[in-house]
Amino acid sequence: MKEPARPDPLAAAHRVKDLARDLAQELAGGYRRSTRYMRLRAAVIGAWVLLSAGAIWASCPASGPTNGLDAEAQLLDGSIMGTQLLVKNGSDRHWTEVAFTLEGGFRCGRKTVRAGDKVVLSLAQFRREDGAAAPQDLRPRTITIECEEGRASLPLAAE
């Protein structure tokens, strides 16, 4: 069986290049032959397109959520209540069956954390599986949040 003839890619590239050059020359010639009114009109439309594109680019966030839950965590140190953790649900969904875990296996649970809510957790609330409480001098560096909606590990930065 004979293979079908394939077009030469180099020749096709030259044809596209020639068409693009002809189109650019035609546009440039049309611009030179146009009246001042048409040139100003083209400038206004071009400025509108540039400003619109700039506004769309500026309104887009620089980065997406840093984790799947869109959670934020912060270590609140130096309070009269002892060391505390601030956890924020920055997403638009509620977290259900939430477990907060610090290094060393210390866990604390909540049934629900609503969308947009901030939760303050004291180190005294964290326990290991054997029932041991978290030491008061513990300075956790990370917190892991696990819930039915997903999982996220966050660094804990002091305020």
Q: Where are the alpha helices (DSSP H) in 95-139?
A: none
* Per-residue pLDDT at 64: 55
What's the pTM value of the predicted model, to 2 decimals?
0.58
In the chain, DSSP finds a helix count (H) and a strand count (E) of: 2, 8
* Per-residue pLDDT at 65: 55
* Per-residue pLDDT at 159: 61
* Per-residue pLDDT at 60: 82
* Per-residue pLDDT at 158: 67
Dist CA 105 CA 126 (whole Å): 9
* Per-residue pLDDT at 63: 65
Per the listing, tokens 């009246």 go with 35
* Per-residue pLDDT at 77: 77
Amino acid at site 99: A
- Counting as low any pLDDT under 50, the low residues of the chain are none
